[in-house]
Amino acid sequence: MRGRAMRGALGVLVVAVLGGCGSMPEREVARAVPAPVVRGETAQPDRGDGLSSDAVIRRSLYAQYAQWKDTPYRIGGLGRDGVDCSGFMHVTFSARFGMTLPRSTDLQVHLGEDVDRSQLRTGDLVFFKTGTTLRHVGVYLEDDRFLHASTSRGVTISRLSEAYWRAAYWKAKRLDISP
């Protein structure tokens, strides 16, 4: 009997750890608010260099990737020593666009406007159902690619068309990013 109880408790622990971004409780209202810009290249209005807002946002997201590439996944993490998917979106949007997103995927999914997958633009949040109650979030870059904190590869770029992500895709949201 004791072994069965231990296995049951271990199973609950495994589900909680693997829950990732979707398991972080939070008691705030889902909203994105302006925040002071932190270090790093931020999106700027067209400076006459011919770059569109999407191009400026894309460049800023790739710069974020260059700084955070291979940072390991750590549930609840917000730093270069480890970060989870919603934490990475929280840090990225604050540092790059001066926006404070809620800390959890469960609240981030309520931000902005729904976007059809065929209409994705750079900077759109992409959400995935990775289990019965588990959720994952990343940010769309371009050409079927999105930036996120993967549980297996850390901060990385993946393709929406990869079998796993294609099957898990749930929805996308567009925030008002003012470069």
Cα 127-129-131 angle, rounded to 5 deg: 150
Please check whether residue 114 is in contact with residue 172, taking contact to mean a CB–CB distance below 8 angstroms. yes
Question: Which two structure tokens, joined as six digits, stand for 131?
Answer: 């289990």
Q: Are 139 and 23 in contact (CB under 8 A)?
A: no
The backbone torsions φ and ψ at residue 61, rounded to the nearest 5 degrees and listed phi first, read: -70, -40
Q: Which residues are catalytic?
A: 85, 136, 148
Q: Is 103 helix (H, G, I), strand (E, B) or coil?
A: coil
Query: CB neighbours of 48 closer than 8 A, spacing ≥ 6?
Result: none
**Which residue has tokens 């898990």?**
168
Nearest to 57 by CA among 142, 161, 144, 162: 142
